[in-house]
Each structure stands twice: as structure tokens, then as C-alpha cells.
Amino acid sequence: MKALVYDGPMDVKVKDVPDARIEKPTDVLVRITTTNICGSDLHMYEGRTDMETGRVLGHENLGEVIEVGQAVDRVKVGDLVCLPFNISCGFCENCERGLFSYCTTTNPEPRMAGAAYGFADMGPYSGGQAELLRVPYGDHNCLILPPEARDNQVDYVMLSDIFPTGWHSTELAGLLPGETIAIYGAGPVGLMATLSATIKGASKIMVVDRHPDRLALVEKLGGIPIDDSKGSPVDQILEHTDGLGAHRGAECVGYQAHDPQGHEHPNMTLNNLVNSVRFAGSMGVVGVFIPQDPGSPDDLYKRGEVAFDYGMFWFKGQSMGTGQCPVKRYNRKLLNLIREGKAKPSQIVSHELSLDQAPEGYAHFDKRDMGWTKVVLHPNG
């Protein structure tokens, strides 16, 4: 089958690889029709992880079931399914608590939890930027879509990751109707946090970034764009909130954050968040930070230790939720919002490309080139 593989830093290629196939009786095999490039793929793409070359990327996947293992009885051949990026079992202690992002069955490494398709450190699973995808524990991991999704796959594919992840940031932050929220990052995840905050009835949604195309989408989704190239985002947010700061905050950037000069600096957003959120406020951090890699202690991006003013955080009595989104916890309800026309996450999509064009999509999305806000791939035409 054709697939997009990681070939080293800043290098992805479309290659012929062995077909994905049913390996266990609980597996489902999916012919991928729609799959996205995510900001999380860029961690691998930019070489900041220990991804081995030859791995197929892609964790935001949707397609048609073409074969099911002997032990699968809920999902049927012909079903159109969206796949949460987390690969989970449904029966471990964490899955029982709804923490599908910390499944202890599907990540085979000792002392690790949580698995995903085509992702460094999150199990050996192949990604879905390919013609075919093997889905472990298929009955549990397939979200069966309604018939009308066939003609609207670009909305429904967002249920695999970024819509639930944006929603999760507002859940971790404890956002309530009528409250204000400061969101750092207007990439796809920050934009989905903006959409979620709108749906939840936030009174003011202030979203920080510096790219005009992304800030324009903030406005379209009902947020107030805060351009951090025009001055301190904290000051701008304080001005919008009578000097108090927002009730809640969301971090949707991660360790590739830029500093005021536009240089990369991973501790920018956490300090800004602490200073933009009021006393006793709370925040959700879904931007990815990675653990320490002992092999490269001097590498800013592999250090794991990200400095932020913990003293101010403590003094203000704030709280913070972190981590990967347990997609499955939310996606049935978010599906209903799409189905009933109350959410249209595809609004942020700028490009729909074939698999052959994927390397070009990675290059533009990685540079945050103007107009490349979210890239969707169609591996089977």
C-alpha cells in the first residue's frame, strides 16, 4: 500500500510499504478515505522525538471498514468509522475511569501508558496517512458514523483528535457559561478550543497568536484575536478583563512556542497563562510537552523541564490540568453537535490534498505558511 513515512528530520516521503492487515481477532481493517496532518505530527517531522525512520505517520483518521477480525461483532464491513487517535483497550483501570489516553494495555513499554497511531513513544502502531489502517480493539476504538457523514467527512474527521482536544482544554480548565477564557495558540487545536468555548457559552474568548490567517479564523469562530506581535498578550488580556485576568485559560501551543521575537522558546506560554488567568482560576494544558531525554541534556526541546513561575501560580491559587485528550470520552456528544449543525469544525480547513501531495502539505503547515491552517489528505482519491 502507499503510505507517508517518516524518513528523518524535515523529511517525509510517500512510499510503498507492506499492507496493513488484521493481526489479532479483535482488529478491524479500515480503508482510509480522510486523514489529517496535525500539529503533533510536527514534533516527529521536526526531529524532536526519537521516531524511527520508516514509520507511517497519521493519527487523525476516518475511513471504511473492509475487514473485521473473528472476535469483532459490533463493527461491520462497510461501516464508515472515525478513529480516536488514542488506541485503548476499554478494560484496564484507566479506561474504566474514562482515561483512554492513559490505557495501560496498548502501550507495551514498561511504566508507560497511552498509545496512538503513528506516534513516537506511544506504542508500535502504524499511522493512517496511508491507504489502509489496522485498528486494534476495533469494537471499542471505532466511532461508527451516521450515513450523512459520507458526504461530509471533513467535519467528522475532526472527531479523531482536534475537536475533542480543544474541548478537553476547556474541560480541564473547568470553563462554565458566562466565564471568560484566555487561549494561547490559534492553530487547529486552539481554534477548536475557541469553537468549544463558544458552544459552552463563554462570555469572552481571547485567543493569542501572531499569524493573521489564524487570527482571522479566531474572529470567525467568535473569539477576540490577540496579536502578540503587537505587544504583551498578558497586558492585552488584562485590558479585556478589567485588570483581573480571565477566569480560565487554555494552552494549545506546546513546546514549540515562540518568544516575543518569534524565536522558539518552550516556557513562554505557561508563564503567560499564569499571568493572564485571575486568582483562583484554572487552566487546561493540551499543548504537548515531552519528558526528559537523558541523551540530550542540552537540547532545549528534549529537556523535559520547562521553567515557569510556579510561585506566582501557587500564590494565585490556580489549578492546572494537563495531558493527552481521552478522545472517546467526548466524541459521541461532539458528533451530535456536528450532526445537528451546531458545530462545523471543517471551517478551519485550508487544504484537501492527495497522499502524494502530503510532503508538500507537511512543509507548508510546518512553516505556518500563510493560508495553511489545517491540511486534510485523501489517500484513496
Site residues (CB under 5 A) for Zn ion?
Answer: 38, 40, 60, 161
* C-alpha span between 45 and 10 (Å, rounded): 5
**Closest to Zn ion by CB, 159 or 181:** 159
Residue nearer to ligand NAD on the CB measure, 312 or 370: 370
Q: What is the DSSP letter of 73?
A: -
**Judged by CB under 6 A, does residue 182 bind ligand NAD?**
no
The CB-nearest residue to ligand NAD is 187
Rg from Cα positions in the chain: 20
Q: Is 35 in the site for ligand NAD (CB under 6 A)?
A: no
Residue 228 contacts ligand NAD per CB under 6 A: yes
CB of 124 to Zn ion, least distance (A): 18
Instruction: Report how far residue 128's alpha carbon sits from residue 137's, in angstroms, rounded to the nearest whole number.
Output: 16
The full DSSP string for 112-144 is ----BTT-TTS-S---SSBSEEEESSHHHH-EE
Alpha-carbon distance of 304 to 299, in angstroms, equals 10
Q: Is 257 in the site for ligand NAD (CB under 6 A)?
A: yes
Nearby residues of 148 by Cβ (< 8 Å), 6 or more positions away: 339
Pick between residue 63 and residue 190 the one whose CB is nearest to ligand NAD: 190
Cell numbers that stand for 337 in this block: 453537535
Q: What three-state secondary structure class fits 349?
A: coil
Q: Report if residue 2 touches ligand NAD, rule: CB under 6 A.
A: no
Q: Which does 123 bind (CB under 5 to 8 A by kind): Zn ion, ligand NAD, none?
A: none
368 interacts with, out of Zn ion, ligand NAD, none, CB within 5 to 8 A per kind:
ligand NAD
Q: What number of chain residues touch ligand NAD (CB under 6 A)?
A: 33
Q: Which is nearer to ligand NAD, 214 or 302 (CB)?
A: 214
- 325 contributes a contact to ligand NAD by CB under 6 A: yes
Letters for 268-307 (x = contact with ligand NAD by CB under 6 A, - = none) are xx----------------xxx-------------------
Question: Cell for 352?
Answer: 484537501
Q: Which CB, 38 or 253, lies closer to Zn ion?
A: 38
Type of residue found at 302? K
Q: Are 35 and 62 in contact (CB under 8 A)?
A: yes
Least distance CB 122 / Zn ion (angstroms):
12
Q: What are the E-state strand segments in 19-111?
A: 28-37, 61-68, 80-83
Strands 143-144, 80-83: parallel, antiparallel or unpaired by DSSP? Answer: antiparallel
List, in sequence order, the alpha helices (H) in 261-323. Answer: 268-276, 310-315
Which residue's C-beta sits nearest to Zn ion? 38
All three cell numbers of 38, joined, read 496535525
Please report, as a single letter, which amino acid is at residue 139.
D
Of 209, 215, 313, 346, the one binding ligand NAD by CB under 6 A = 209
211 contacts ligand NAD (rule: CB under 6 A)? yes
> Is the four-CA dihedral 129, 86, 9, 267 of positive or negative sign?
positive
User: According to CB under 6 A, which residues from 139 to 178 bind ligand NAD?
Assistant: 161-162, 165
Closer CB to ligand NAD, 75 or 238, in the complex: 238
Question: How many Å separate Cα 265 from the centre of its chain?
Answer: 20
Q: Decide: is 254 part of the binding site for ligand NAD (CB under 6 A).
A: yes
Question: Measuring CA to CA, which residue among 159, 184, 182, 171 is closest to residue 256?
Answer: 184
253 binds, among Zn ion, ligand NAD, none (CB under 5 to 8 A by kind): ligand NAD
Residues that bind ligand NAD (CB under 6 A): 38-40, 43, 161-162, 165, 184-190, 208-211, 214, 228, 252-254, 257-258, 268-269, 286-288, 324-325, 368
